[in-house]
């Protein structure tokens, strides 16, 4: 059963098409990942699905409710945790949850019971009467997740839930996400640009780039699409070697990145001597070569021609330059 469905969902801002005619569905009870670099259209998609933005074209349904015509019913059916914190730091954790529950019309008895349930779920019972301003970044994120669960949502939207957190805290958040998916039976729609996060959490992922969905499947299927093994090599004439290897039917995918090549193959260890022999015949010197199992970063490279970390670095530099211009630096 599909709990989220989109139909040619599109959003334009003047001449910019942020989301470009995307259609996909999310099954009830799954953790669905929306994977892509900054600026790919992830947050814009979530804002449309959560009724904060109207689509320019197309539509979507959440739990059978249209995101434009039935926005009140959609909002009753979902919980949302956005990138930017939205907690009242001058209230305690319990008071933040109580206020949110009142907004959704929960009775006093329901609020009391539910607050204890969600605090226990995210391991914040001992901190419930502490002012949020004294919470760590990870504790605040856990409280936001708890707050989003207060009204028993059928779908929980998490927009970059571990952005800016340290590695240990990120891992802790992952465990809580897995736990609430299992214990609360909540369908989770997760956006991220962290490959390891998607790999650990998601049943299926959609890769979005420049507003378009370019791949959607289970993670094992996406990895198998580029080969059971990945061979990475550095050589003296990568273009010449790439053109020669493209003629081999056992090469399922091949990407060139500066002086290195990334190949998707079956039985990678057996292919290394063949690659070395081919290189020697055409006068290409191999500097280094290794084999490993494919990752989601390899999948992103296969479908887009670049690695997601290159996009993050470029976007980070652009954001810094924009910040300097705004400050007059």
Q: Hey, what are 115's tokens?
A: 């607050």
pLDDT in tens, 35-91: 988 889 999 999 999 999 999 999 999 999 999 999 999 999 999 998 887 899 999
Query: What is the distance, to the nearest Å, from the Cα of residue 292 to the centroid of all Cα atoms in its chain?
Result: 23
Residues 154 and 253 in one domain: no
For residue 288, give the nearest of 261, 268, 266 by alpha carbon.
261
Q: Using 50, 70 and 90 to split pLDDT, how confident is the model at 309? A: low
Whole-number Å distance between alpha carbons of 255 and 262: 5
User: Is residue 323 situated within a structural domain?
Assistant: no
Q: How many CB atoms lie within 10 A of CB 105?
A: 9
For residue 210, give the nearest of 3, 37, 79 by alpha carbon.
37
* Domain CATH number, residue 255: 3.30.70.270
User: In 137-280, which ranges are E strands?
Assistant: 155-159, 187-192, 204-209, 212-218, 229-235, 251-257, 260-265
What would the mean pLDDT of 158-181 be, rounded to a whole number?
89
Residues 164 and 46 in one domain: yes
What would the mean pLDDT of 167-183 be, rounded to a whole number?
89
Residues 147 and 249 in one domain: no
- Any idea which residue has 């979530």 for tokens? 46
Whole-number Å distance between alpha carbons of 61 and 63: 6
Q: Side-chain half-sphere of 235: how many Cα atoms within 13 Å?
A: 24
Whole-number Å distance between alpha carbons of 283 and 303: 30
User: Is residue 306 situated within a structural domain?
Assistant: no
Of how many residues is the chain composed?
329
End-to-end CA distance of the chain: 54
Residues 7 and 148 in one domain: yes
User: What percent of the chain is modeled with pLDDT above 90?
Assistant: 72
Q: Using 50, 70 and 90 to split pLDDT, how confident is the model at 156? A: very high
For residue 249, give the nearest of 232, 266, 262 by alpha carbon.
266
Q: What radius of gyration, in Å, describes the C-alpha atoms of the chain? A: 23
User: What percent of the chain is modeled with pLDDT above 70?
Assistant: 93
Name the residue range of residue 177's domain: 2-218
Question: Bigger pLDDT: 288 or 327?
Answer: 288
Whole-number Å distance between alpha carbons of 298 and 32: 19
- How many domains does one find in the chain? 2
Q: How many CB atoms lie within 10 A of CB 223?
A: 21
Residues 49 and 131 in one domain: yes
What would the mean pLDDT of 246-256 be, rounded to a whole number?
93
Q: Using 50, 70 and 90 to split pLDDT, how confident is the model at 321? A: very low
pLDDT recorded at residue 329: 33
Whole-number Å distance between alpha carbons of 279 and 234: 11
* Domain CATH number, residue 205: 3.40.50.300
- Any idea which residue has 């640009």 for tokens? 193
User: In the chain, which ranges are E strands?
Assistant: 2-13, 16-22, 25-27, 31-35, 57-62, 65-66, 78-81, 155-159, 187-192, 204-209, 212-218, 229-235, 251-257, 260-265, 286-292
- Any idea which residue has 């779908």 for tokens? 155
Question: What is the average pLDDT score of the chain?
Answer: 89
For residue 146, give the nearest of 130, 167, 123, 129 by alpha carbon.
123
pLDDT recorded at residue 248: 95
For residue 5, give the nearest of 66, 82, 57, 79 by alpha carbon.
66
Instruction: Please determine, for residue 167, whether its predicted confidence score (pLDDT) is greater than 60.
Output: yes
Four-CA torsion 168, 174, 176, 177, nearest 10 degrees? 160
Residues 83 and 194 in one domain: yes
Residues 123 and 261 in one domain: no
Q: Using 50, 70 and 90 to split pLDDT, how confident is the model at 176? A: confident
pLDDT in tens, 189-225: 999 988 899 999 999 999 999 999 999 999 999 998 8
Query: Which is it for strands 260-265 and 251-257: parallel, antiparallel or unpaired?
Result: antiparallel
Residues 123 and 269 in one domain: no
Residues 235 and 212 in one domain: no
Residues 43 and 153 in one domain: yes
């Amino acid at each position: 059963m599909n709990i989220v469905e989109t139909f040619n969902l599109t959003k334009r801002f003047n001449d910019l098409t942020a989301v470009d005619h995307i259609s996909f569905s999310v099954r009830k009870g799954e953790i669905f990942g929306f994977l892509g670099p900054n600026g790919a259209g992830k947050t814009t998609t979530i804002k449309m699905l959560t009724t904060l933005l109207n689509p320019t074209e197309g539509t979507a349904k959440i739990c059978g409710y249209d995101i434009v015509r039935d926005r009140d019913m959609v909002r009753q059916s979902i919980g949302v945790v956005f990138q930017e914190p939205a907690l009242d730091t001058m209230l305690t954790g319990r008071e933040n949850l109580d206020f949110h529950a009142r907004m959704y019309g929960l009775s006093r008895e329901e609020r009391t019971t539910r607050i204890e349930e969600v605090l226990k779920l995210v391991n914040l019972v001992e901190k419930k009467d502490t002012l949020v301003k004294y919470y760590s970044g990870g504790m605040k994120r856990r409280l936001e997740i708890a707050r989003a669960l207060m009204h028993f949502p059928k779908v929980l939207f998490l927009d970059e839930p571990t952005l800016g957190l340290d590695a240990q805290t990120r891992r802790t958040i992952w465990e809580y996400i897995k736990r609430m998916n299992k214990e609360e039976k909540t369908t989770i729609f997760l956006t991220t640009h962290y490959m390891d996060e998607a790999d650990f959490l998601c049943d299926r992922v959609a890769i979005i780039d420049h507003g378009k969905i370019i791949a959607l499947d289970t993670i094992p299927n996406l990895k198998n699409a580029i080969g059971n093994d990945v061979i990475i090599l550095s050589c003296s004439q990568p273009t010449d070697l790439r053109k020669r290897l493209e003629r081999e039917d056992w090469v399922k995918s091949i990407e060139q990145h500066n002086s290195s090549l990334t190949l998707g193959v079956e039985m990678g260890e057996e292919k290394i001597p063949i690659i070395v022999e081919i290189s020697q015949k055409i006068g290409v010197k191999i500097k280094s070569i290794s084999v490993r199992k494919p990752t989601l970063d390899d999948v992103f490279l296969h479908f887009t021609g670049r690695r997601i970390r290159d996009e993050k670095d470029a976007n980070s530099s652009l954001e810094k330059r924009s910040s300097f211009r705004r400050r007059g630096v």
